[in-house]
Structure 1
């Protein structure tokens, strides 16, 4: 039997560990950064931290966290993540409100990816609100 040859852009993503660099771009290990939110140990204190943790959840393919942090009025009944999507970087370009003192906030970002070997970028302004005291994603506008 001939060995299988991996095609560029089709490699499986490396598993995140507590010591891995956090995918969200902050200078911390995953376990100390977004991993603590994914595990339920803590909740994101700001809309921007929730945005970063949701990006990291896409990298980690953590659909349960994404659904848990989605506003009840806009949350889909289930979420299937595309196995061909490889997220490769996050840049926060703007934030408005979204602190501990605000009920709502927006975060504008660019997220780079590869899909079936093709590079792309998602540019979105996301809206967040508090629900039950916790920050949740409401919806987004593609820019």
Structure 2
């Protein structure tokens, strides 16, 4: 049995553009509406174009990628800082503790937005609109 699709389902969705829009916290479809209604809570739909965003399933992916990026940036900096200045342990804990927390909090919404944009562009988790709407 053939599945019917509409013209809008056959249109190419550029992945890079959708991820960039998501990184900026904008709707991956139109690039105008806000994707997040709070810090990490994705809106159910775009307030501008009406694209449904509740299908997203970012789950733990953005957190894992954030940890990976922050740790790969912080580890060499920590080593270089220690070799160059030989600070006390409490100084190291304070400086790098605050630095990793701040950078994680800044990166997390950016990465989650990119995840949602990727899912939208690849028509994953209900973003495919395969059902015919009458």
Q: TM-score, normalised by structure 1?
A: 0.21
Largest Rg, 1 or 2? 2
